[in-house]
Amino acid sequence: MISMSHCLSIETKHLISLFGLKYFHRDPFDRMIIAQSVSENIPVISSDGIFKEYSVQVIW
């Protein structure tokens, strides 16, 4: 479980997930957030509608 005080570092499993993502989103930072969300099975807080194109739980 990720707590609010935990900083999520970029790990190899996140990069593997990143390379497997479809190219709906063009922003590399947002793509990494999506990849981390997929890898860690954690929700994303964003108002960016493109996030909903991916298999992540979006809050907002």
Domain annotation covers residue 18: yes
Domain annotation covers residue 21: yes
**E strand spans, the chain:** 44-45, 58-59
Residue 18 host element (H or E)? helix 12-20
**Number of domains into which the chain is organized:** 1
Domain annotation covers residue 23: yes
Domain annotation covers residue 6: no
Please give the pLDDT value at position 4.
62
Domain annotation covers residue 1: no
Domain holding 23, by residue range, is: 12-59
**What tens digit of pLDDT does each residue of 1-60 get?**
555 667 899 999 999 999 999 999 999 999 999 999 999 999 999 999 999 999 999 998
Domain annotation covers residue 4: no
Domain annotation covers residue 7: no
